Structure 1
């Protein structure tokens, strides 16, 4: 199967190591969420994929072959910093960009009409970009990434500044492109959206991937937890459930009656014993698995880096060194 492979990328800016053996792949037809705190290395990695930056070591491949200039012309890229000419009209600008990718004037006209209509800015094709709202500029920026019908989509914070309707439109477009066989990689701090939309996720910290997999794979734990709410006094519930071998019980945060039951790795089938013990006390109002959200997983990864004293210092877009930012925009 075709895939975009990021293979052992290293990149340094002087003494600053922006990427450290960064490795993952994005399969054809897959939406891949690339998440991490500010300065984790996401933008640097994307710029290497585009050939804007050169890696110190490692390689980016498509269909098993290194990306060259010809292949990169088949990439649709949406930068975090808008790369549009503000005084140029929307339609004129998109036709110009389509021409840079080798499209004929007729094909470019058809593509511009198709994507501006699809993204809800068809009525603004005659307007200068600077006359548009930030959200509509974002839609035009996506149209610029799509206008040449790319084989690969690389999008840096594509949902930034969009209202919920625009988010739905853009999400549908990305899913359509993935369903057509295009590998889609995008970065975002909107983790609920990443969790809902992506087939797989890579969490990057200090220039390397710390967690990689589907949401379900990332949420698995060796010690599963269950939330239990019984129509009985909580001390009685704790006493009864704690008697089940291989079980730990604690009050559920924010819940006056519920408890959280943690099953040790040796407690095979313990959840049934817990449920039976609870039912002997009273009506069971809830007995459901507790699964960490992507935001929980993200915080765990970032917190581990902070505990180890790792700075987050990817260079800013103008090449200057970023200040150490520890606050997570989740």
Structure 2
């Protein structure tokens, strides 16, 4: 079994404010794990504790079955949400310096920085001060800083924030390649369509607790079943009498229905056909955005 990062029962409070309550999940070798939640849900606090920037009040962070140590932390690639680059330092000089801090020799550090700046499309910015770069290029340099020491674990806080579509593609490819190399990759993002597309598993956080954690497919399977019915001649209220069926949306000919336990989709179809022609009758697959909305507002149990 590959090595993994484990967050086990981690708790943290600031005075009367509980930031984390028994936060528990793991990120497996070669896995892309999406960490999502509203602002203030506890994502950044969890990441900072994993890195040792913050101390937990309880619980433990483990790598390969053992508590994380300062030595282990040198092998983590971290991209903070508040970007941590020196604005007046030149790109190449800064990245070589950061690689050296992680233990690389001068020649290995320069070789790695050349490779990553080339791959991330900022090689031509080597002698530019960071503050003179566009926000997107600053983001690419920040990612390079998380990668130059060939980390065993990647922890990225909002890495896609503010990126244009081309930069999103570059970033996505890099993360998928690192996972393919066996690196556990965990990142937070508010761009849920991106999380849905990239991640092997997703953890949804609410009020400092993990409230749902699984593959998107499994989370969908545990959610509610919805039907989309397009019946051009149907009057509003045509589905109101159906047992265990709730009308969620009605817009002209299109009706979205939620099926409760024991609801009969064939009875729904018969009722729709009784109004006239039915041009669409399909199950609606919840997107991660819809799942997230349901979970964080407490509309469904997860």
Measured against aligned partners, the alpha-carbon deviations of 1:81-115 in whole angstroms (never above 9, x if no partner) come to 11111111111111111111111222212211111
**2:224 & 2:298 partners in 1: Cα distance?**
19
**2:64 & 2:159 partners in 1: Cα distance?**
25
What is residue 231 of structure 2 aligned with on the other side? 230
What is residue 245 of structure 2 aligned with on the other side? 248
**1:20 & 1:66 partners in 2: Cα distance?**
19
What is residue 266 of structure 1 aligned with on the other side? 262
Greater Cα shift, 120-129 or 274-283: 274-283
What is residue 167 of structure 2 aligned with on the other side? 166
**2:253 & 2:149 partners in 1: Cα distance?**
58
Relative to structure 1, is the Cα distance of residues 26 and 124 closer, same or farther in structure 2, using a 3 angstrom cutoff?
same
What is residue 114 of structure 2 aligned with on the other side? 113
Question: What is the count of residue pairs matched by the alignment?
Answer: 298
Relative to structure 1, is the Cα distance of residues 211 and 128 closer, same or farther in structure 2, using a 3 angstrom cutoff?
same
What is residue 43 of structure 1 aligned with on the other side? 44
**2:273 & 2:211 partners in 1: Cα distance?**
41
Task: After TM superposition, give the deviation of residue 65 of structure 1 in Å.
Answer: 0.9
Structure 2 residue runs of 5 or longer lacking an equivalent are none
Q: Is the 8 A contact 1:224 1:262 kept in 2?
A: yes
What is residue 58 of structure 2 aligned with on the other side? 57
**1:134 & 1:166 partners in 2: Cα distance?**
11
What is residue 88 of structure 2 aligned with on the other side? 87
SS of the aligned residue for 2:155 comes to: strand
Task: After TM superposition, give the deviation of residue 160 of structure 1 in Å.
Answer: 1.3
Task: After TM superposition, give the deviation of residue 273 of structure 1 in Å.
Answer: 4.9
Q: Is the 8 A contact 1:251 1:258 kept in 2?
A: no
Relative to structure 1, is the Cα distance of residues 238 and 33 closer, same or farther in structure 2, using a 3 angstrom cutoff?
same
What is residue 4 of structure 2 aligned with on the other side? 3
Measured against aligned partners, the alpha-carbon deviations of 1:46-66 in whole angstroms (never above 9, x if no partner) come to 111111111111100111111
Task: After TM superposition, give the deviation of residue 38 of structure 1 in Å.
Answer: 1.6
Q: Is the 8 A contact 1:227 1:252 kept in 2?
A: no
Matches within 5 A, 1:78-227: 78-221=79-222, 223-227=224-228
SS of the aligned residue for 2:279 comes to: strand
What is the TM-score when the length of structure 2 is the normalising length?
A: 0.91
Q: Is the 8 A contact 1:31 1:178 kept in 2?
A: yes
Q: Does 1:257 align with 2:257?
A: no
Structure 1 residue runs of 5 or longer lacking an equivalent are 306-330
RMSD (Å), alpha carbons: 2.2
What is residue 292 of structure 2 aligned with on the other side? 298
**1:38 & 1:59 partners in 2: Cα distance?**
24
Q: Is the 8 A contact 1:249 1:259 kept in 2?
A: no
Relative to structure 1, is the Cα distance of residues 289 and 18 closer, same or farther in structure 2, using a 3 angstrom cutoff?
same
Relative to structure 1, is the Cα distance of residues 265 and 183 closer, same or farther in structure 2, using a 3 angstrom cutoff?
same
Relative to structure 1, is the Cα distance of residues 40 and 247 closer, same or farther in structure 2, using a 3 angstrom cutoff?
closer
**1:56 & 1:247 partners in 2: Cα distance?**
46
Relative to structure 1, is the Cα distance of residues 39 and 261 closer, same or farther in structure 2, using a 3 angstrom cutoff?
closer
Matches within 5 A, 1:269-288: 270-275=264-269, 278=272, 282-288=276-282
Relative to structure 1, is the Cα distance of residues 227 and 221 closer, same or farther in structure 2, using a 3 angstrom cutoff?
farther
